[in-house]
Chain A
Amino acid sequence: MRHLSVTLALLVFVAACASAGARTSTAPAPQSTAAPAPAAGQDTAAGIGPQYPSTYQRHANPPVLIRNATIMTAAGQEIQGGSILFKDGRIVSVGTNVQAPSDAVVVDATGKWVTPGVIDTHSHIGVYAAPGTFAESDGNEATRPVTAEVWAEHSFWPQDPQIPLAIAGGVTTIQALPGSANLIGGRSAVLKLVPARSVQEMKFPGAHYGLKMACGENPKRVYGQRGGPSTRMGNMAGYREAFIAAQAYRRKWDKWNKDHQGDPPERNLRNESLAEVLRGNIYVQNHCYRADEMMQMLDLAHEFGFKIRSFHHAVEAYKIADALAREGTASSIWSDWWGFKEEAMDGIYENAALLQQAGARVVIHSDDASGIQRLNQEAAKAMYHGRRAGIPVTRDQAVRWFTANPAWVLGLDSLVGWSTTGTIRRINPRWTSPWVRESIHDRSSAGPDDRDHRRHGVPGLGTENRQRDRADSRWPYRRGRDECRSARGCDAHRCRGQVGHAGLHRRRRSDGAAGNQRDPEHE
Chain B
Amino acid sequence: MGLREISAIQNTNEATLRGNDVAAAFNVLEGINPASTLIAVNRMEGITSTVAVPNGSLIWGQAVMIDLDGATIDAMRVKSPVAMVADLSEGAKEAGGGSRAGVAQRLRRVLNDAREYATRRADYRRAQIQPLSASAADLEALQPVLRGELPLLVVANRRSDIETALRIAREYKLKLILAGAAEGWMIPGEIAAAGVPVLVEPMDNIPTFDALGIRYENAPLLAKGGVKVALMETATENTRDLRQQAGNAVASGMTWEQALRAVTLTPAEVFGVADRYGSLDAGKVANVVVWSGDPFDFSTGVEHVFIRGRDIPLRSRQTELLERYKTLPPKY
Q: Which residue numbers of A lie inside 8 Å of B, CB to CB?
A: 1-7, 130-133, 161-162, 165, 217, 318-322, 336-342, 345-350, 354, 358, 369-370, 373-374, 377, 380-381, 384-385, 388-389, 391, 449-451, 454-455, 463, 466-467, 470, 477, 480-482, 484-491, 494, 498-508, 514-516, 523
Contact = CB atoms under 8 A, between A and B. Distances in A.
Contacts of A342: 6, 8-9
B182 A488 contact: yes
B206 A2 contact: no
Contacts of A161: 207
A499 B9 CA distance: 12
B7 interface: yes
A505 B4 contact: yes
A6 B15 CA distance: 36
A465 to B, nearest CB: 10
Contact of B256 (A3, A373, A484, A504): A3
Interface in B73-130: 85, 87, 89-91, 93
A488 B201 contact: yes
Given A384-B299, A505-B234, A346 B321 contact: yes
Contact of B322 (A165, A350, A485): A350
Given A488-B157, A500-B18, A3 B182 contact: no
Contacts of A499: 10, 13, 16, 18
B55 A339 contact: no
Contact of A370 (B3, B7, B85, B205): B205
B271 interface: no
A349 B319 CA distance: 9
Interface of B: 3-10, 13, 15-16, 18, 37-38, 41, 53-57, 60, 85, 87, 89-91, 93, 155, 157, 179-180, 182, 201, 203-217, 220-221, 232, 234-238, 240-241, 244, 247-248, 250-253, 256, 293-294, 296-301, 318, 321-322, 325-326, 328, 330
A246 B230 CA distance: 56
Given A319-B325, A321-B328, A516-B206, A504 B9 contact: no
B7 A466 contact: no
Given A1-B296, A450-B217, 8 more contacts: A1-B297, A321-B328, A346-B321, A380-B298, A482-B210, A488-B180, A503-B155, A514-B206
A488 B256 contact: no
Contacts of A516: 206, 208
Given A342-B6, A358-B328, A487 B294 contact: no
Main secondary structure on chain A at its contact with chain B? loop
A489 B251 contact: no
Contacts of B238: 336-339, 508
Contacts of B296: 1, 3-5
| A161, A348, A384, A391, most chain B CB atoms within 10 A | A348
Contacts of A370: 203-206
19 contacts: A6-B298, A319-B328, A338-B237, A339-B37, A339-B41, A342-B8, A350-B326, A391-B326, A451-B252, A467-B213, A487-B211, A489-B89, A489-B210, A499-B16, A500-B18, A501-B55, A503-B85, A508-B235, A514-B206
B297 A165 contact: no
Contacts of A501: 55, 57, 91
A386 to B, nearest CB: 10
A4 B248 contact: yes
Q: Which 5 pairs from chain A and chain B are nearest by CB?
A: A485-B90, A4-B247, A482-B209, A503-B55, A488-B180
Contacts of A506: 234-236
Contacts of A319: 325, 328, 330
Contacts of B318: 338, 347-349
A133 B238 CA distance: 26
A508 B237 contact: yes
B208 A132 contact: yes
B328 A5 contact: no
A271 to B, nearest CB: 33
Contacts of A502: 7, 55
Given A369-B206, A503-B155, A5 B298 contact: yes
B192 to A, nearest CB: 18
A488 B53 CA distance: 13
| B182, B205, B212, most chain A CB atoms within 10 A | B205
B18 A377 contact: no
Nearest to B292: A388
Given A336-B238, A346-B321, A358-B328, A504 B207 contact: no
B6 A131 contact: no
B6 A377 contact: no
A340 B7 contact: yes
B113 to A, nearest CB: 22
B212 A489 contact: no
Contacts of B16: 499-500, 503
Contacts of A130: 206-208
A339 B91 contact: no
A342 to B, nearest CB: 6
Contact of B180 (A381, A484, A487): A487
B178 to A, nearest CB: 11
Given A502-B7, A505-B3, A489 B180 contact: yes
Contacts of A341: 6-9
Given A3-B251, A505-B236, A487 B206 contact: yes
Contacts of A388: 301
| B15, B38, B209, B318, most chain A CB atoms within 10 A | B209
A481 B100 CA distance: 13
A285 B39 CA distance: 34
Contacts of B41: 338-339
A485 B210 contact: yes
A503 B10 contact: no
Contacts of A1: 293-294, 296-297
A487 B182 CA distance: 9
A451 B298 CA distance: 17
B241 to A, nearest CB: 7
A346 B320 CA distance: 10
Contact of B15 (A322, A354, A477, A505): A505
Contacts of A480: 209
A489 B87 contact: yes
B256 A2 contact: yes
A95 B74 CA distance: 63
A516 B213 CA distance: 15
Contacts of B210: 482, 485-487, 489
A424 B214 CA distance: 40
A467 B251 CA distance: 17
Nearest to A491: B91
A7 B301 CA distance: 16
